[in-house]
Amino acid sequence: MTSSLTVENLSVRFRLPGATVHAVSDASFAVRQGECLALVGESGCGKSVMAHALMGLLPGNATVTGSAWLRTGDAPPLDLIAAPERVLARTVRGRRIGLVPQSPAAHLTPVRTARAQLAEALRELGSPATADELAARAGLDPAQLDRYPHQLSGGMAQRVVNAIALAGDPWLIVADEPTSGLDRPLVDATMAELRRLADDGRAVLLITHDLRAAERVADHIAVMYASRVVSHAPAAEFFAGPRHPYAAGLLEALPSRSFTAIPGRPPELTDLPKGCAFRPRCARSTDACSESPEAGPVACHHPLEHHVAR
C-alpha cells in the first residue's frame, strides 16, 4: 500500500501576551510516495511552522487543531497532531519522517566528525546500516566522513545532513529551506538529491521561498500567503500561469520574468484582515473579497484564467 501524509484543516495559533499569532490557518494538502510537494511563500507566511507542527516540534504556547494522517504501508494510520510525544519520538521522527534542516553548517556539531554524527543517528535509531553505506547512499565519498564540519564544503555538508535524515530509512522527507544561503550550483545539486529521493519511492515535502528551486524538483506547488494555502496546483500548470493573483504576482517578480514586486506588504499574522488576506494588495479585488474565499486549489473569488499570467 502506498504511504501518504494527508493534512486536513490544520491550524496553528501562538498565544503571546496581548496577541494571537495565526501562523497556519485551515491548511489541507497531501503528499504521497514518489512525489515532491513544494510549499512556497515569503518569509513569515507560516510555512516553517507547518513543518514543525507535523513533526511535533512546536513550542509550548502553540495550539494545533485539525489532523495530519500519516499512512505508512499497511500500518494503522497515525494522526500526527493527536499523537503523544512518546509515539512521535519513538516511531515517527527519524523513522517515518526525516528532517533536512535549514542550515547544514549550523546543524552539525562542529567538534565531531561527520562519521561520528552519522554513527550516532544510526545507533539511536537502531539501524543495522553502517555510516559508510549511508554516506554512499547520499552520494558522499566515505573517505570524507572523517572530516569535521568546517572542513566540508557547503555541498558536502548538505549531503551529510541528508544522510543523517535518511539514517532511519524514513519514507517522508521534510526539507525546510534546504537551500538558503547556497549558491546556484549547490541549489541545483540539492534539488537533484531531493528529486532522486522522490524517484526512489520516498515522498518529499520541500519548504522554500525559492520558486526556481521548487521548479526543478516539485510535482505539485502549494503557495502559502498569510497563514493560508491559497493555491495548489501541478507544477507544470503552476509555472505556465498560476490562477491565484498572489501566486501569479510572486512568479512574475522573478528576475527571469517581469521583476516587479507585488505592491504593498503582507499583513501581520497577529492582525489578519477580515475576508481574503490578499485583498489590500490585489488589483482584482471586489466587494466579494470581504468574505473569506473557500479553501481549495485556488482560494480566490476571481481567479485568473489559465496561462494569462505569462
Partner 1 sequence: MLRADGIAVSYGRQRVLRDADLTVAPGVVTGLAGPSGCGKSTLARVLALMLRPDGGRLTVDGTEVRRWRQRAARDLRTKVALIFQQPRLAVDPRLTLREIAEEPFHATGRPPGPAADLADEVGLTPELLVRRPHEVSDGQLQRACVARALALRPRYVICDEMTTMLDASTQAHLVARLEAYRTETGAGILAITHDDELLTRWTGPSEGPIVRMG
Q: Catalog residues that contact partner 1 under the rule CB under 8 A.
A: 41-44, 153-154, 180-186, 209, 211, 249-251, 253-256, 259-262, 265, 268
CB of 43 to partner 1, least distance (A): 4
> Given the complex with partner 1, which of 143 and 256 has the nearer CB atom?
256
* Closest among 114, 192, 186 to 150, alpha carbons compared: 114
> Given the complex with partner 1, which of 70 and 248 has the nearer CB atom?
248
H/E element, 263: none
> Given the complex with partner 1, which of 138 and 262 has the nearer CB atom?
262
* Closest among 52, 89, 82 to 67, alpha carbons compared: 82
* Closest among 213, 151, 206 to 181, alpha carbons compared: 213
Which of the 8 DSSP states describes residue 301? S
CA distances from 168 to 18, 96, 147, 155 (A): 42, 8, 22, 22
Name 17's Cβ contacts closer than 8 Å, sequence gap at least 6.
none
> Given the complex with partner 1, which of 265 and 274 has the nearer CB atom?
265
Beta bridge partners of 67: 8
CB of 297 to partner 1, least distance (A): 21
Q: Name the 3-class secondary structure at 69.
A: strand
CB of 184 to partner 1, least distance (A): 5
CB of 41 to partner 1, least distance (A): 7
Name 1's Cβ contacts closer than 8 Å, sequence gap at least 6.
71, 73, 74
> Given the complex with partner 1, which of 19 and 82 has the nearer CB atom?
19
CB of 20 to partner 1, least distance (A): 15
